[in-house]
Amino acid sequence: MNAMTNASANAAFWQGKRVFITGHTGFKGSWLTLTLFRLGAKITGFALPPPTTPALFDLARVGEGIHSVIADIRDADAIHRAVREARPEILFHLAAQPLVRQSYADPVETYTTNVMGLIHLLEAVRQSDSVRALVNITSDKCYENREWLWGYRENESLGGHDPYSSSKACAEIVTAAWRSSFFAPKTQTRTQTHIATARAGNVIGGGDWGKDRLIPDILQAISARQPLRLRNPRAIRPWQHVLEPLSGYLLLAEKLYAEGAAWAEAWNFGPADADAQSVQQITKMLAQHWPDALHWEIETESQPHEAYALKLDASKARARLGWRPRLDLRAALAEIARWQQAWQAGEDMRAVTLAQIAAFEQASPT
């Protein structure tokens, strides 16, 4: 199939669609919810309360105009009831314990949320007669990391040194098992449901206050005028603005809904190779928006293991979905600085966030 040119979400497709988002109160889920709200979708969100204070969900009033269910993905009865009542046509699964370091502190929570929570959701979808497309967002860390300097492709081995990465590899395996056992065309007796997984890079953007995440740590150090302590300044990650993978998830969901099984597989959404930069380089680039406001030093205490190098190969998404990144790393960091400065100036952050989404949709691919 030929790639589309400058592919982007189809507003006519999303208008009035019943969409269910797990994890809608989180950083990434909030951006996705507002994006789909702009497209005219009828949204049900299912998640725990916002994980941080402040939170993008609160500042941008993400709950306005949607049905928000505050509950735990580990509660099977709650997720079954919510899916049954919402009768969604399309479902995005983002609810997760998303932090490597937290997974060392509480591995049981990580596995029960990231694996059993997914299983509860898949079982709820299996009993539904409305869901036609499910995009399960896992992580770039689901791959067995071999510290390669080239990007991992969708057919590389799954694995994980730490509990978080391992739990995301498990989520991929669980999804594949349910897809083969219960959602293959010949096994379904109700509405045909097609399931894909999406693996994104390290997402960054305005409104992120996540613990042990680089961008929030930088912004907090700048605001407090305190030194930033970097754990692994030479670590390389595939940094991308949060709207980049979200645009890919929307394209993928459209294909699953309209064309089905040919798209029900794993997909990478990662930045151009040049944007896979070190922690130290990202720090320097973002700090340029606040001249003379940041000093950093290397953390000397022993730290839990984290991969040194991680890159994604998104060739398949580019070739088949026509997906392309729109913001290079420098532009992404500039958008973060603008969002942060608008918040500090007391602006309407719902309007600011929606304006950044609108600008992104009009941007040309890099």
Amino acid making up residue 167: S
| Rounded to 5°, angle at Cα 77 from 71 and 78 | 20
Q: Which of the pair, 9 or 15, is modelled with greater confidence?
A: 15
Does position 324 have pLDDT exceeding 90, yes or no? yes
Closest CA to 79 of 65, 89, 69: 69
pLDDT at residue 262, rounded to an integer = 94
Q: Is the previous residue joined to 88 through a cis bond, with omega within 30 degrees of 0?
A: no
pLDDT at residue 188, rounded to an integer = 66
Cα 150–chain centre separation:
22
pLDDT at residue 292, rounded to an integer = 75
Q: Quote the percentage of the chain above a pLDDT of 70.
A: 95
| Rounded to 5°, angle at Cα 79 from 74 and 82 | 155
CA distance 53 to 57: 10
pLDDT at residue 60, rounded to an integer = 98
Q: Is 198 helix (H, G, I), strand (E, B) or coil?
A: strand
Does position 304 have pLDDT exceeding 80, yes or no? no
Phi and psi at 205, nearest 5°, equal 170, 170
How many H helices and E strands in the chain? 14, 12
At 83-140, the pLDDT tens digits run 999 999 999 999 999 988 899 999 999 999 999 999 999 999 999 999 999 999 999 9
pLDDT at residue 72, rounded to an integer = 98
DSSP 190: S
Does position 331 have pLDDT exceeding 90, yes or no? yes
**Domain annotation for the chain: domains and CATH numbers:** 11-362 (3.40.50.720)
Phi and psi at 96, nearest 5°, equal -165, 160
Question: pLDDT band at 168, cuts 50/70/90?
Answer: very high
